[in-house]
């Protein structure tokens, strides 16, 4: 689904949680992904550029974010481009990455 509006990281978090509650795991996965990237953008750690793939985003990030964003890219690419379903386990992994950024 194309993103048609800018949202805060907190708004993406709410969207993710609502999607989980509704059982819409693909939407939850995407919203947690966008929460993480938006939070980094809000902190000035990474410029949010939705034209980049997750691998391009990881490559453009400061060195201290490379590990986190490489993990994010592996997870996201499997779902976004690799045809893997956004299972409850995948959503939980994405939420954990978003939580990791949120707690820093």
Q: Domain coordinates of the chain in residue numbers?
A: 9-102
**Cα–Cα distance, 73 to 2 (Å, whole number):** 19
Predicted pLDDT at 83: 87
Span 61-79, mean pLDDT? 91
pLDDT at 101: 85
The answer to whether residue 1 scores a pLDDT higher than 70 is: no
83: left (phi over 0), alpha (psi -120 to 50) or beta: left
Query: Residue 80 has which token pair?
Result: 């976004």
Q: Is 58 exposed, middle or buried (0-12, 13-18, 19+ CB in 10 A)?
A: buried
The tokens of 60 are what?
A: 């453009």
Q: What is the mean pLDDT of the chain?
A: 90
């Amino acid at each position: 689904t194309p993103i048609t509006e800018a949202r805060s990281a907190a708004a993406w978090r709410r969207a993710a949680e609502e999607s989980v509650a509704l059982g819409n795991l693909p939407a939850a996965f995407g919203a947690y992904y966008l929460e993480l990237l938006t939070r980094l953008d809000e902190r000035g750690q990474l410029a949010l550029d939705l034209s980049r793939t997750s691998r391009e985003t990881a490559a453009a990030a400061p060195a201290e974010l490379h590990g986190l964003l490489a993990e994010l890219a592996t997870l996201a690419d499997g779902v976004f481009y690799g045809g893997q379903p956004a299972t409850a386990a995948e959503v939980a992994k994405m939420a954990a990455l978003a939580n990791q950024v949120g707690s820093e």
